[in-house]
Amino acid sequence: MRILALAAVLLAVASCARTYYKEFTVEPQDRSYTVSQQFDDFTAYLRSRGLRTVIETNNLLEVEIDPGDTLLVRLVPDAKVELTLTRRTKGSDFTAAEVRRFQETFEQRIRETTGRGLSIRLVDQGVAPLTNIKLQ
């Protein structure tokens, strides 16, 4: 009986992963670029890339950008657009280079598609505790 319990614990630990997240805020260079326009531009760009939608509501869109990595775009009541980059993995967090590349690439793509400049600023980051992602 102890062997079965030990085996179950080992299987559960083996399937555990960490969830890493990076929180960003969007700061338009032009004050006439409304938050509604920003949100619409971000979501239109993400849809145009054919990314798999994880969840979508009126003020929120989450897409899978890579296996295990998602991007959540939300229009918050404070009249701003926030982004959350999330990685669920047994491996490591986003590197500083990956975060910088995300910021620069997204800023550039929005500028190219809309003609409007903005900054994507990292405001918070963290690690969720170990979670069991698959228990069968």
pLDDT digits (tens, 9 = 90+) for 44-59: 999 999 999 999 999 9
Task: Work out the mean pLDDT of the chain and round it to a whole number.
Answer: 86
For the residues 4-17, what does the mean pLDDT come to? 48
**pLDDT tens-digit profile of 70-111?**
999 999 988 899 999 999 998 899 999 999 999 999 999 999
The per-residue DSSP string of 38-89 comes to: HHHHHHHHHHHTTPEEEEEETTEEEEEEETTEEEEEEEETTTEEEEEEEEEE
Instruction: Please tell me the predicted confidence (pLDDT) of residue 73.
Output: 97
Distance between CA atoms of 94 and 43, rounded to whole angstroms? 23
| pTM for this prediction | 0.80
CATH superfamily of 18-129: Sirohaem synthase, central domain (3.30.160.110)
Give the start-to-end residue ranges of the domains of the chain. Answer: 18-129
